[in-house]
Each structure stands twice: as structure tokens, then as C-alpha cells.
């Protein structure tokens, strides 16, 4: 079958998008590698690095306050604020480049995203620990569109309840798009671990629906 000819993914990226559907229980997980072609991804990396209002927040774990080991920023519909660990996060309004990314990834997501959390991992010392993104305001089955630019970092997932299932590691490359849906956020935790390797920065964007 002449599949691909009228596939919008192939139009966007001159035929180079590679689609990987993960066959995992309790999750709908699809990886679109090279969703953004190299030139577009390079431009977006540079623009987002320079123009994002990066901040470093405090997090309190077991009564001790630490600096978050990465820089973050919230953008999105300004009517949708989000409360995280008791702190109300007011999003910055969408920039043109964030709107462009949002519209492109929505063609595969089947939802309209209202908000995006940007993370900047400056080097191998920056990370995000095991967690799920299943807060109530993300809906019953949260759909999360995750776009990465810059250094490839391993995105690790593990089932929260089934110890018989192995941890899965997905390298998120420059210009890739990982779509997480179904009940995944209830059943699977994810993290981006630290590494001692000398590596370049990475920007990750997780687009979310806030009800
Ligand atoms: O950097 C990533 O790939 C994941 C980020 C993440 O899980 C989050 O911000 O909730
Ligand atoms: Mn997450």
C-alpha cells in the first residue's frame, strides 16, 4: 500500500519521521522520532534556550527545601493556573514558537493542549526523579505531549504496581515527540536520571491539558 504519501507526518519532515508504538500494558505510548526536522529543531532549540523565562524553584521533600535540579518555565492559556505542591503557578502567555509546536503535535494527540511545562537540563547533573503526572487537573487519563531538543537523555519508565515488568528506557532525541496517553500516568512512573558524562544541555517541553 502506498502508505505515507498522504501521511501528514511525512509531509512535515520530508519522510524521515520514524514511528515507534510501545506495546505496554496500562499505557498508550508512541514515539515520533525526527518529528521536527534537524533545521527546525536546531532553530527551536536556540530560540527556546534564549527566549524562555527560565527559573529555578525550590522543592520541599520530607520537610527539607532544595533547589529543583533543572530550570523550568510554565507557558499557556493564562486562564489555566496550576497548583503544584501548594504553590500556584501562573503561566506566561504562549509565544509564537510554542504555539507552532503545540499545533504541530496536536495533529497526533487528539486533544487541545492548554499549557506547557518547559524543562532545561543544563548538564548531566540536572534531572527529574521518579514521578507520575496524574494530578486531578490533568483529567481522568492525562494526555501529555513531550517534545525534546538538544542532548539526547534517556527517559525511563517503570510500572508502579507490577514488579514483573522490566523498566523501559527511551532515548529522547533532538526533535522527537513522545505522546503519552491512556491510563499511563496512573500506572507508570517516569524519570530522567543524572549522568556523570560531560553532556550538552537539553530542553524538554511537556504539553498538558488543564481542565
Ligand atoms: O524531561 C523529560 O523528558 C520529562 C520531564 C517530566 O517528566 C516533567 O516535567 O514532568
Ligand atoms: Mn513528568
Q: What is the CATH number of domain 8-208?
A: 2.60.120.590
Nearest alpha-carbon partner for 100 in 75, 78, 83, 134: 75
User: 52-89, pLDDT tens digit by residue?
Assistant: 999 999 988 889 999 999 999 999 999 888 776 666 77
Ligand 1: residues within 6 Å at CB?
117, 119, 128, 133, 146, 155, 172, 190, 192, 204, 206
% of residues, the chain, pLDDT over 70: 91
Pocket perturbation via mutation, ligand 1, pick of 189, 192, 201 by most ligand atoms within 8 A of CB: 192
Cell numbers given for 171: 532515548
User: 89-130, pLDDT tens digit by residue?
Assistant: 789 999 999 999 999 999 999 999 999 999 999 999 999 999
- 133 Cβ contact list (under 8 Å, min separation 6): 142, 144, 185, 206, 208
Q: What is the predicted pLDDT for the residue at 80? A: 83
Q: What is the predicted pLDDT for the residue at 83? A: 76
Amino acid at each position: 500500500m502506498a502508505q505515507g504519501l498522504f501521511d501528514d507526518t511525512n509531509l512535515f519532515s520530508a519522510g524521515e519521521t520514524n514511528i515507534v508504538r510501545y506495546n505496554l500494558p496500562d499505557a498508550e505510548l508512541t514515539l515520533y522520532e525526527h518529528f521536527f526536522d534537524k533545521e527546525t529543531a536546531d532553530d527551536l532549540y536556540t530560540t527556546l534556550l534564549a527566549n524562555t523565562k527560565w527559573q529555578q524553584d525550590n522543592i520541599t521533600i520530607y520537610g527539607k527545601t532544595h533547589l529543583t535540579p533543572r530550570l523550568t518555565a510554565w507557558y499557556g492559556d493564562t486562564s489555566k493556573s496550576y497548583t503544584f505542591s501548594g504553590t500556584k503557578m501562573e503561566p506566561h502567555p504562549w509565544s509564537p514558537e510554542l504555539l507552532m509546536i503545540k499545533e504541530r503535535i496536536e495533529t497526533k494527540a487528539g486533544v487541545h493542549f492548554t499549557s506547557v511545562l518547559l524543562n532545561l537540563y543544563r548538564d548531566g547533573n540536572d534531572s527529574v526523579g521518579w514521578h507520575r503526572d496524574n494530578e486531578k487537573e490533568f483529567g481522568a487519563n492525562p494526555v501529555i505531549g513531550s517534545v525534546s531538543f538538544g542532548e539526547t537523555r534517556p527517559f525511563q519508565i517503570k510500572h508502579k504496581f507490577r514488579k514483573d515488568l522490566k523498566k523501559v528506557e527511551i532515548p529522547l532525541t533532538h526533535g522527537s515527540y513522545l505522546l503519552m496517553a491512556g491510563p499511563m500516568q496512573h500506572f507508570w512512573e517516569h524519570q530522567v536520571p543524572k549522568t556523570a558524562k560531560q553532556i550538552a544541555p537539553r530542553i524538554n517541553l511537556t504539553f498538558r491539558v488543564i481542565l
